[in-house]
Structure 1
Amino acid sequence: MGSIGEDEVKHNNTTDLGSLIHKTGLTSKKSTSAVLHRSLHHDPHQAVHAKGNYLCLSNGQKIFDATGGAAVACLGSNDERVARALIQQLTDGVSYCHSLFFATVAVEQLASLLTSSTNNIMTRAFFTSSGSEAIEAALKMARQYFLEKQQPEPQRTHFIGREQSYHGTTVGALGVGGHRARRKLYEPMLSKNASFVSACFSYRGRLSVDEIDKAYVARLEAELEAEFQRVGPRNVVAFIAEPVVGAALGCVPSVPGYFAAMRRVCDKHGALLIMDEIMCGTGRVGPAPTAAYPNPLHAWQDPSVGVAPDIMTMGKALGGGVLPVAAMLVNERIVNVLAQGSGAFSHGQTYQAHPLACRAALEVQQIIKNDDLVSNVREQGALLGKLLKRSLADHPCVGDIRGQGLFWGIEFVQDKAIKEPFNPADGVATGIHELGMRPPFNISIYPGNGSCDGERGDHILLAPAFNVTKADIEHVVGTVTRVIETYFHSKLSLPHVEKDLS
């Protein structure tokens, strides 16, 4: 396999993206796989081994995974402690049993750990195999709550979400997500009992740079109130939102005071607040400690959010990608209503509370806690943001750099002054990802689209493992900077700008 030198990538003004791809010898081959991959035309790279931050491919490449897959591999790959825990569960414990008939130690311990991490504000946990399934459970739980109250409210069937949000790919979850491109094919199948208000998106949502946080939040609060009134305040089941928006917008934190305002509207009309922490939760954003939460784990525990949900969902970093696992947590008020009513959640799945998956998640969460990895997320995340801004803020095609903890996004524009996105047909984010995968860069970067209006707008995400070092962060920023400069040099004939990251 051929490759090119880093100096050639940086300095050869005759090197364009097409010739770079040709010289690497990594042009895609026609699919021969029996697997229904993401593309029917080309097979993905074959990963044959993984350890720590690196994925080894069948072609000999060693790829630095700067995104933990989809912000999943919070401990990197193949942690020996997790492996030992799974072997123990398989040999001395239970590999599978039906949750309708049996409980297991691993599931009970994981639920106890998670509810304790909320200061027991959330009192019960329900475990699924994916984030989409956790959202489905949350929607059903919210509906059942209103049916089982002492004074039932069966008319509550409507959910309010946010534009450019994403909560999962199943029909119910997709129905409460506002990402237009992801909804488009399935729009006729999706629930009509959902509507959307503006995202809390500082870069694109403010009326001007002079609109302060308080005014911006007040405007979003008024918009949510107006939507409640439009659909009928007593028809709304819940408002659902991500504390830090992940793939749909590219790591967008909420403005301080925003969720307190959303909570006020929900409480005023008796609706529930659902927070989707599938991508941003379980330590990913490095929530800051407070007197109430000295060892915070959840994004809602950060002072910038400041309010607890009625229902929350978790996934991704919950199990670190070792086995498929996600969760829905509910607060005491909801549990009490069901306890005094039917006494059961009218929902269940074959692999609900899978013992092996929950044992993996339990070990991952114990490692995060015992190794104080959320503190490392805060420390290395601050460095990641600082170096990204120093290196790329002045790039003519970088519109915004935002994020929190080890969860950062970079949005690309063709005109910074008016924040004009690239044409979706240009495939900018995907092109940057594909270039990063090639030598000499050898880095995996997560591409995203729709950050402008749900269809237009390109961004990438960086979400490395919680145990990364300063040297890892410097490597990520330096490599990503070179990838972006090389890509736009080829695309727009822009000069390379060398950065000192020391």
Structure 2
Amino acid sequence: MVLIKLDSTMGAVDATASSKDSAVLHRHLDTKFLNMTRAEGNFLVLENGRKIFDASGGAAVGCLGWGNQRVAQAVTNQVLAAPYCATIFYTTRVQEELCRDLVQSTNGAMARAYIVNSGSEAMEAAVKLARQYFLEIDEPQRTLFISRRQSYHGITLGALAVGGHEVRRAKFEPLLTKNVSRVSPCNAFRGKAPCESDEKYVERLAKELDEEFQRVGPANVCAFVAEPIVGAALGCVPAVKGYFKAVREVCDKYGALLILDEVMCGMGRSGTLHAWEQEGIVPDIQTIGKALGGGYQPVAGLLAGHRVVNALERGTSVFVHGHTYQGHPAGCAAALEVQRIIREENLLSNVRAMGDLLSTRLFELLASHPNVGNIRGRGLFWGIEFVADKETMAPFPSEDHVCMDVCELGLTDKYGINVYPGGGSVDGYTGDHIIISPAFNVSREDVEWIAATVGRLVSDYFAAKNRT
């Protein structure tokens, strides 16, 4: 994977000097990365002044675009007032206000919030909180978790163990805890049988989950973990109607918790502040991140339901977990201001309206393309899955790096667009998709341009690839 490409038809991607000149332990040591010097609105500005439209908000992070003065000022004010808080001794007004705001946003469904710095940290905390809940209610035998294949819940060892992203897990498998088992994802495109109704598909998946509880011993399970809309691992795949109600019923049947990972799909990205609002259920623990702070500071967190919090309050009253930088004041300030802006400017309404427009245009432009297998998503969170053969929906070989090549082509001057790559959507190894997840305040003109440019990008890439 290289961000330097010379192509007579596509032009060249700008880059820094040789990767060997860098002291950074980059994701790829043989890659020459683009040097971004600033960001303005929806644009990322490179060292040479060239602009790239950020149609993915980075990794579905940027929800207000870049350079928002209100958020920047809120962070600056907090850094000048109190840049750090040792939470073993103190709290801050901004942390209290953010957590109160988050709890109130659930209409009383959740009880308390816990603020950390990344989605992976949030999932680590969620797993430990679920375990401690059962210790508090005197069910210490519950040590197992059930998640889904083709899932991703974070990159730290604990979060990686809970997830089912095979490529990310592979090198570290010997280090990962073995107390996690996995069931099928709810992916109608790949998993639903021909002529099978949504109701029958849900029934089949619920039966599989129930059988997995029985196989491992229902009294041994802490929680079932899932994303309401699967992001990086599947490319914006929402569950079919009724799936999460059925999952909730299975968890309740066996006394297990339901943990919903909304780090990527939540905090407004899917059209409601919390993705679970569209499913008619409430989780016991929810992780949040990315659009929580819009990229203005590293910030993520979890929301804990009353069942869990009440058990702690009636028991030890101690959550045996902590980070040096949890509840970081600057992160809290950014998140609080971002959430206020989303509310004051009624941006969730725009997410829904512009999401409808984006999906309509993507279907018009690409649904019939011979290498586009599926277009799916909600709100401003859309994925396009590529296939080598539309009749069989067979994926490209993983060594073709299709998703990354499409994204890298998008960075060239001819397109000037940033979309987000993902792989493994078929079996954890093969399957390519891209994610389109622009800022919540994008205009109609922005969306028309994004859809037209993505349509041109995909068509041009496969026209060139199919000629070779």
2:90 to 102, 115, 124: 102
Q: Which residue of 2 aligns with 1:340?
A: 314
Taking the TM superposition and a 5 Å limit, the aligned residue runs for 1:301-380 are: 301-302=277-278, 305-380=279-354
Q: 1:232 aligned to 2:217?
A: yes
Alpha-carbon distance in structure 2 between the residues aligned to 1:321 and 1:482:
28
Question: How far does the alpha carbon of each residue in 1:100-140 deviate from its partner, in whole angstroms, 9 at most, with x for none?
Answer: 10110100000011000101111100010100000000000
Q: Is the 8 A contact 2:268 2:274 kept in 1?
A: yes
Residue 238 of structure 1 aligns to a residue in which SS? strand
2:136 to 148, 166, 172: 148
Question: How far does the alpha carbon of each residue in 1:450-470 deviate from its partner, in whole angstroms, 9 at most, with x for none?
Answer: 011110000000000000000
Question: Where has structure 1 moved over 2 Å in runs of 4 or more?
Answer: 16-21, 23-30
Alpha-carbon distance in structure 1 between the residues aligned to 2:350 and 2:60:
16
Q: Which residue of 1 aligns with 2:418?
A: 444
Alpha-carbon distance in structure 2 between the residues aligned to 1:356 and 1:225:
43
2:163 to 177, 180, 184: 177
Alpha-carbon distance in structure 1 between the residues aligned to 2:131 and 2:454:
44
Alpha-carbon distance in structure 1 between the residues aligned to 2:135 and 2:12:
60
Q: List alignment gaps of at least 5 residues for structure 1.
A: 1-15, 288-296, 495-502
Change (3 A) 1:372 1:181: same
Alpha-carbon distance in structure 2 between the residues aligned to 1:417 and 1:30:
43
Q: Is the 8 A contact 2:15 2:34 kept in 1?
A: no
Alpha-carbon distance in structure 2 between the residues aligned to 1:413 and 1:46:
32
Residue 20 of structure 1 aligns to a residue in which SS? coil
2:25 to 36, 50, 68: 36
Q: Which residue of 1 aligns with 2:145?
A: 159
Residue 406 of structure 2 aligns to a residue in which SS? helix
Alpha-carbon distance in structure 1 between the residues aligned to 2:266 and 2:212:
28
1:84 to 69, 73, 86: 73
Q: CA deviation at 1:285?
A: 0.4
Q: Which residue of 2 aligns with 1:299?
A: 275
* Paired AA for residue 332 in structure 1: H
Q: CA deviation at 1:43?
A: 2.7
* Paired AA for residue 392 in structure 1: L
Alpha-carbon distance in structure 2 between the residues aligned to 1:372 and 1:383:
17
Alpha-carbon distance in structure 2 between the residues aligned to 1:228 and 1:370:
44
Q: 1:19 aligned to 2:4?
A: no
Q: Which residue of 2 aligns with 1:426?
A: 400
Alpha-carbon distance in structure 1 between the residues aligned to 2:349 and 2:13:
42
* Paired AA for residue 357 in structure 2: L
Residue 147 of structure 2 aligns to a residue in which SS? strand
**What is the percent sequence identity of the aligned residues?**
55
Q: Which residue of 2 aligns with 1:279?
A: 264
Change (3 A) 1:219 1:117: same
* Paired AA for residue 120 in structure 2: S
Q: CA deviation at 1:17?
A: 8.1
Q: Is the 8 A contact 1:281 1:314 kept in 2?
A: yes
Alpha-carbon distance in structure 2 between the residues aligned to 1:28 and 1:415:
37
The TM-score normalised by the length of structure 2 is 0.97
The TM-score normalised by the length of structure 1 is 0.91
Q: CA deviation at 1:277?
A: 0.2
Q: CA deviation at 1:379?
A: 0.2
Q: Which residue of 2 aligns with 1:112?
A: 100
Alpha-carbon distance in structure 2 between the residues aligned to 1:42 and 1:157:
41
Q: 1:72 aligned to 2:46?
A: no
Alpha-carbon distance in structure 1 between the residues aligned to 2:16 and 2:217:
53
Report the aligned-residue RMSD: 1.3
